[in-house]
Amino acid sequence: MFQFKLVLLGDSSVGKSSIVYRFVKNSFDEFRESTIGAAFLSQTIKVKESDDGEETVIKFEIWDTAGQERYKSLAPMYYRNANAALVVYDVTQQDSLVKAQSWVNELKNKVGDDDLVICLVGNKVDLCDEDAEDNKRAVGTEEARSYANEQNLLFYEVSAKTGLNVQQIFQSIGEKLFET
Ligand code: GDP
Ligand code: MG
């Protein structure tokens, strides 16, 4: 079995822990307590090994970090030796994208993107409805996508609440890691 270390980074309250819980336990909690320090979880997925459809199991060892400033100095402990990073922002908070971009810069400076698969993740798309009066979207899909393309990152918009695209993040990271 292949094992990969994955770290989640991003501003507090963007939904990092919720994404991990959706992926690992397929559940969602409106009143999740904020993470202290970091939490560790693991989950396996299957990826296609070759065109003949053979499948391989890979295991993610997931480090879910706390976003608060006072824990920032701990982050390198988690992203050092990581194979993949989810850099998460909240599509309803423009500031959180700015924070995500600073994490991407830090990862590229400290780890280098030869050794690390980085995925930019915009969470809480369930709060967006382009036709509704109370549409809460603050970060456009194309704005984030073009930044991600420019930086050579994988990119997904997801909802930990509904589960939309959460599995796909890990599936595409798994496939990319397995390729290399
Ligand atoms: P973290 O600090 O980044 O780990 O964020 P949490 O996972 O603790 O989530 C922060 C808050 O956002 C909680 O109240 C969650 O219930 C809420 N939340 C997380 N993901 C979503 C989502 O996809 N949609 C909505 N509407 N709320 C979410
Ligand atoms: Mg958390």
Rounded-to-integer distance, Cα 12 and Cα 90, Å? 10
Minimum CA distance residue for ligand 1 atom 22: 124
What is the structure's pLDDT at 146?
98
Specify whether the CB–CB gap between 87 and 33 falls below 8 A: no
Q: Give the chain's residues under pLDDT 50.
A: none
What is the structure's pLDDT at 52?
76
What is the structure's pLDDT at 180?
65
Confidence (pTM) = 0.94
Q: Which residue has the tokens 């995500």?
A: 100
What ipTM does the predicted assembly reach? 0.99
Does the C-beta of 30 come closer than 6 Å to ligand 1?
A: yes
Q: Which atom of ligand 1 is nearest to the CA of 21?
A: 7
Neighbours of 134 (CB within 10 A): 6
DSSP-derived letter for residue 31 is T
Neighbours of 147 (CB within 10 A): 17
Q: Which residue has the tokens 């994955």?
A: 6
